[in-house]
Amino acid sequence: MILETVQLTKSFGGLTAVDAVDMQVEEQEIRAVIGPNGSGKSTMLNCISGIYKPTSGAIRFVGESIGGMAPYALTRRGIGRTFQNIRMFNSLTVLQNVMVGRHCRTEDTLLEDIFALPRYRREEEEMREKALVYLDFLGIVDKRDMMPASLSYGQRRMVEIARALATEPSLLLLDEPAAGLSQGEKSALADEVRKIREAGITIILVEHDMRFVMGISDQITVLDFGKKISEGTPSECRNDPKVIECYLGGKVGSHA
């Protein structure tokens, strides 16, 4: 088991966005977390990546309790992520954006950098080469010297995934990766995600697009109003009456 949440709870004032959720994710699994708007999916991802401190409960990553750790510390432990609303470094080129992802894996110091000493040159070269490989992997290496602002939405999404891969994650969190992509881009993305998993990386994704989710996930966790209402393989979830009720609406007034 690579990631485990135990009774994970996050509340904002009176609102409990994530309510005592238990979730276990196995290594090399593709796990989708789904649910209607406001069901707490993104909050959960933000807890796992350290952006939010859980109100109570535990998060364990490869056996270590990580609840409340800073995002950069978790990234160094091997949790990478992308954002729902793409967050590029807009004054850096595409290649430089991806290189920033690898900074946390380098050890050269400021003085070595200023005087361009051997270790700096070696690390910089490696950073550059590896960043190019990830860009190539995601099919956007020809855009390497462009500024993010001049890319299409789908291309920027790929840059963001390349940047997350450059941090060398063992667990990759994707927050609505298919949002805003065309059908063609979506199926290309699904292929990339599968390839990333085949390389040994575990993936947790939050997504609205059901076709995308059903086609790609091994396991699905369904949240509604912050509570886990169902969990299982895509076909199990599809046929779970509780899931159908929460998506299609149950008895009148049941959630009002």
Q: By the criterion CB under 8 A, which residues form the site for other proteins?
A: 2, 27, 49-51, 62-64, 70-73, 75-78, 81, 83, 87-92, 96, 99-101, 103-110, 113-116, 120, 123-124, 127, 129-130, 132-134, 136-137, 141-142, 144-145, 163-165, 167-168, 170, 195-196, 198-201
Q: Cα-Cα-Cα-Cα dihedral of 154, 105, 118, 143, to 10°?
A: 0
Nearer to other proteins, 138 or 246 (CB): 138
Q: CB of 84: closest distance to other proteins in angstroms? A: 12
Residue 249 buriedness (CB in 10 A; 0-12 / 13-18 / 19+): exposed
Q: CB of 53: closest distance to other proteins in angstroms? A: 14
Nearer to other proteins, 167 or 221 (CB): 167
Q: CB of 79: closest distance to other proteins in angstroms? A: 9
Query: Which residue bears the tokens 């390497």?
Result: 144
Q: CB of 239: closest distance to other proteins in angstroms? A: 33
Distance CA 53, CA 69 (A): 8
Nearer to other proteins, 118 or 253 (CB): 118
Helix (H, G, I), strand (E, B) or coil at 29: coil
Query: Which residue bears the tokens 């005087």?
Result: 115
Nearer to other proteins, 41 or 163 (CB): 163
Distance CA 201, CA 81 (A): 12
171-175 and 3-12 beta bridge pairing:
unpaired
Q: CB of 14: closest distance to other proteins in angstroms? A: 25
Query: Which residue bears the tokens 């978790």?
Result: 74
Nearer to other proteins, 102 or 186 (CB): 102
